[in-house]
Structure 1
């Protein structure tokens, strides 16, 4: 049978070219995403930057370490403590000591992320003067880069300064260097110490501070893990994209191979009539799939090696990945892609070949004329099982953990389950759906509408195979984009309902609002000011899990006026320095209970639960007093109007008070609009990659399948011409059928997306967040339109080519 298989490959080249292209592209996509994902797992080792020339740096602990029965639990602190004067004095005994301070600087004409340091720390980078001299007076500074020149006067939030020197920008920060005395007056907090002395003596004098030497000095830089953190987002994006791409590839390849085998039912019937046994037919089909699988998988791996660097360049150009991100030398993505492609090719033909070999010769020939018995017990079992699993897991999640349905991993993976279920059950859905959609066209004068309806309904396998890639694209687009848009709308609804202030003042930079700025805002007539700071609280739940909860440190006296919290128990007025407001996801959430927590700076505290909030979409953290958030700068000031206050006058007064810090004063409506939760750039680009690949792959799969299907219908088209149809009428019929099948796939995709979004909306309702479902109709319409255009073109062209042959000759062709 191997020679028969080779002859088949030679004579039915259209079918096998289509299968080869689909598989090669699928393997190429898997290899591309695998190589990019592997490259995102390891960040390059970065050396010390600010303290590359320092002997040793003493730094307070910046992590919280809590013992548990299964080992220490460790989390980064939200606000690490400062070096105490006693620790600084003890360290000075080990050698020459330099106090390091970092604080934000706002300067007209300067970079937005300017940071101030004492001049004595500049030598440790090392920074060397490129022009001018060192600062000597309180009003003198040295800056990095070329945004200012020596002798230039610059206005800052703390008054005017004179630039007396510049140093070369080393690429890791935009710095302003003050005299040591002036830097200490601006920021009394000592962040860390640079000590030049014998290592043993330095360690003995550390006094509980962490001693950083060698490459560990990089942990004294402002953001030592920025490369790893940058790759976390890249890894998350690529992980989602790789999973979705792998699913689309496997789905389309399996569908294409199954359709290619199903097309050959008449050929199998002839082979059975000629004496071939069922086993011989199956072995022939498997041998063909093995041959195509090996060749196409190898070609796909080569395609992946070509595509991965271009994907990396795309991510760098769109600022999703850091500028240094490149594709590394890995072998496992090639193995994964190759063997996955080969297994999918074999799996796609095994079921169909088993069915073809199982029926008798006469039955096979009769079954080849019209699609009957398209639903095997296997399709019923797996399709129904997956659909039931999707429904049961959704109901279980709604009853137990509705918040889990709002997580990205959940709403990106659930569509795969339903897409596969609907695709397996498609033969049951295609015929009634086609008849429903084509009912009105079939009532129009002429036989065209009726023929479109009957051809699409009779060719269930062909219709299901063509609709499958459209189903994937539309379902993914509707589910992913609709889920993110719906969640964004829900979060915006929460912000809208919880903000009671008339004005919100934000944007003071990393240093936030100092005490003087807050006091100036308090002095504005008619303004009731409620400052707050972003912080964190840690709690050890179930004795082993150290959980970090985002916290907002507020002034309890102004909390009730500025915030409208979604309480389920307790009172906002009961919050004080000895209590906390938690949400209902905490293990201990009974009003009046005492809970042991660690504050943002690592201080342990026992606080009484004053009130409990709904968790909502996950943005409702906890609330503490400002005393329980030491080291967290005020980053937001909510302002409510006193009775009879003039709104415009208050707004102008707030701008004068906060303007020098570069802050913005916005009305409640404007701030909510500006703070409207948006999908992150990484997520948007990730979805763009996924949907772009899905649409591209859908187009190629449609082209393959339609060329295969149309080439197999040349006799049908010839019969229509012999019955009196003109060539133009035949082409219009073919185009209408292709468009109808795409619409069927689009409707099934919208159905799947609707089920996913309905589950998400139900989860929001259980969490008591009532906001509308957002369906990306424009994107769905564009996807269906693009698929329709591709389908019509790829169906009409081979049909038009077949019309060049006399219909009598085509009608007489026998396979």
Structure 2
């Protein structure tokens, strides 16, 4: 029966082409979506882990309003943390909105992800969070530094005047440096502006206070012990976690975001497969009708109903297998195209290879084969009901009472009248 199914597939290649295309497109959507989201998830998780390298403890302050003034982590608190055993350095950060205008006055980057922060140099004059490709960080009021993507979009060079909008009026600053960053807002198509720390505090919080802080440890120090020592020193409206825990939290957030994107893209695949089911069922119905006499002869020589049904399902399985393999290849190309196409929306995707795991491959094969066999199941059942006597007919279907009705100018005759 399997050899018969294989011969039937090869004998009807043209008619099965539309079935192959329907399954192939659905499988391409499914596998492409899974590969694309796996690739993005892996890239962002890797970037997240990199951004927390060297961070022993991260502190986040949930800013409240106290007597009309916003408060956060005070410089005194950071100084006390810096005196703990095993702590190498403490860096405070403030952040808020900062929109950069291009020479024509248009906003650069996605509005919701345009941020500003402070340049916090260490004893060596460098800020470990940023690598400068040109110039240096701002050291006084009236100076800023820009991420390299924003500088390239605005065609800014060190020494140029740049208009920046913050919580107050638009101001003009001198560009002192251009840097690279793993900041998620920049990766999502936004911009990042670095100000001198004292200016950033006046813009976003209050002098001498910070929203967040990162603690680095001395060689050989234990991060958990540092965390236990930090917790009693921070305000009640603040939270401290190890760098490893923060990386895991960010990775979980990324997984949730990828899950939402995954579901949205898979819905298109579901629509394609849903439409494909009807096309597949219609194709196999026509094939069964054309092979009525052949199937009846097989019944006459001893084939059972179940064997006939299984032969049709075997044909569907072969078609589904071929379509799934080809569709998976298209899915890989689709995932690569989607990743490249994100650049058109100013979304920066971390570099790295496509992540092609076993799950997308097995899912593609399972979906393609099972959907094809499911759609062909009803035509297969009908094929199994063809009686052996149908092999003696010259038509492609078993005669029924309705088919024996004769039409005359005066109207149809009943089967009994027609036999007279």
Kept after mapping to 2: 8 A contact 1:21/1:296: no
Query: In the alignment, is the contact (CA less than 8 A) between 1:265 and 1:368 conserved in 2?
Result: yes
**Cα offset for 1:20?**
3.7
Q: Give the alignment partner of residue 374 of structure 2, picking from 328, 335, 344.
A: 344
**What is the SS of the residue equivalent to 2:100?**
coil
* d(CA) in 2 for partners of 1:101, 1:333: 46
Q: Which residue of 2 aligns with 1:484?
A: none
Aligned to 1:185: 202
Whole-angstrom distance in 2 between the partners of 1:265 and 1:57: 74
Shift of 1:176: 2.2
User: TM (normalized to structure 1)?
Assistant: 0.36
Look up the match of 1:276. Answer: 300
Q: 1:654-708, CA deviations, whole angstroms, 9 ceiling, x for partnerless residues?
A: xxxxxxxxxxxxxxxxxxxxxxxxxxxxxxxxxxxxxxxxxxxxxxxxxxxxxxx
- How has the CA–CA distance of structure 1 residues 363 and 333 changed in structure 2, closer, same or farther, with 3 Å as cutoff? same
Q: For 2:385, what is the secondary structure of its paired residue? A: helix
Which residue, out of 354, 357, 361, partners 2:387? 357
Choose which of 225, 228, 233 in structure 2 pairs with 1:203: 228
Q: 1:311 aligns with which of 323, 334, 355?
A: 334
Equivalent-residue separation in structure 1 for 2:307 and 2:263 (angstroms): 43
- For 2:62 and 2:82, how far apart are their aligned partners in 1? 19
Provide the rounded CA distance (Å) in 2 between the counterparts of 1:228 and 1:92.
Answer: 34
- CA shift in 2, pair 1:219/1:100, >3 Å: farther
- Matches of 1:104 and 1:6, distance apart in 2: 66
Counterpart position of 1:368: 397
Partner SS, residue 98 of structure 1: strand
Contact preservation (8 Å) 1:105, 1:115: yes
Partner deviation per Cα, 1:727-763 (whole Å, 9 max, x = no partner): xxxxxxxxxxxxxxxxxxxxxxxxxxxxxxxxxxxxx
Cα 1:367–1:288 change in 2 (3 A) is: closer
Report the counterpart of residue 711 of structure 1 in structure 2.
none
1:213 aligns to what?
A: 242
Equivalence map 1:206-355=2 (5 Å): 206=231, 207=234, 209-218=238-247, 227-228=254-255, 231-265=258-292, 271=297, 276=300, 280=303, 282=305, 285-286=308-309, 288-319=311-342, 323=349, 326=354, 328-330=356-358, 331-337=361-367, 339-340=369-370, 343-344=373-374, 347-355=377-385
CA contact (8 A) 1:135 1:142 kept: yes
Superposition deviation, residue 175 in structure 1: 2.5
User: 3-state DSSP class of the match of 1:280?
Assistant: coil
Q: TM-score, length-normalised on structure 2?
A: 0.65
**CA distance in 2: counterparts of 1:338 and 1:37, whole angstroms:** 15
Looking at structure 2, the residues matched to 326 and 373 of structure 1 have their Cα atoms a distance apart, in angstroms, of 60
Query: Structure 1 residues 116, 300: CA separation in 2 closer, same or farther (over 3 Å shift)?
Result: same
Instruction: Quote the offset at 1:130 in angstroms.
Output: 4.1
Query: How far apart are 1:326 and its partner, in Å?
Result: 3.5
Contact 2:98 / 2:115 at 8 angstroms: preserved in 1?
A: yes
Tell whether 2:96 aligns with 1:103: yes
8 A Cα contact 2:32 2:333, kept in partner: no
More relative contact order in 1 or in 2 (CA 8 Å, sep 6+)? 2
Residues 105, 282 of structure 1: CA spacing in aligned structure 2 closer, same or farther, 3 A cutoff? Answer: same
Deviation, 1:333, is 1.7
Q: Deviations over 1:77-118 (max 9, x none)?
A: xxxx97354865764553553321111123332734542222
The alignment partner of 1:356 has SS state of: coil
How far is 1:240 from its partner?
0.7
Decide whether aligned partners of structure 1 residues 265 and 102 sit closer, same or farther in structure 2, where only a CA change above 3 A counts. Answer: same
Partner of 1:567: none
Q: Is the 8 A contact 2:100 2:164 kept in 1?
A: yes
1:340 CA displacement: 0.9
**Within 2, Cα distance between the matches of 1:281 and 1:24?**
28
- Alignment: residue pair count: 345
Structure 1 residue 226 displacement after superposition: 7.1
Contact 2:308 2:384 (8 Å CA) reproduced: no
User: CA 1:354–1:226 in 2, change beyond 3 Å: closer, same or farther?
Assistant: same
Determine which of 152, 171, 180 is the counterpart of 1:169: 180
Question: In the aligned structure 2, how far is the partner of 1:304 from the partner of 1:35?
Answer: 8
Matched residue of 1:185: which SS?
Answer: helix
2 CA distance for matches of 1:84 and 1:342?
Answer: 61
Is 1:218–1:224's contact at 8 Å kept on the other side of the alignment? yes
**Structure 2: 5+ residue stretches without partners:** 64-69, 404-420
Cα distance in structure 1, aligned partners of 2:171 and 2:383: 83
Displacement of 1:9: 4.0
Could you tell me how far 1:210 is from its partner in structure 2?
A: 3.2
Q: Residue 107 of structure 1: SS of its match in structure 2? A: strand
Distance 1:148 1:229, change over 3 A: farther
Offset of residue 53 of structure 1: 4.4
Instruction: Compute the RMSD of aligned alpha carbons.
Output: 4.3
Structure 2 equivalent of residue 120 of structure 1:
120
CA distance in 2, matches of 1:370, 1:84: 88
- Work out the CA distance in 2 between the residues paired with 1:101 and 1:186: 9
- The secondary structure found in structure 2 opposite 1:135 is coil
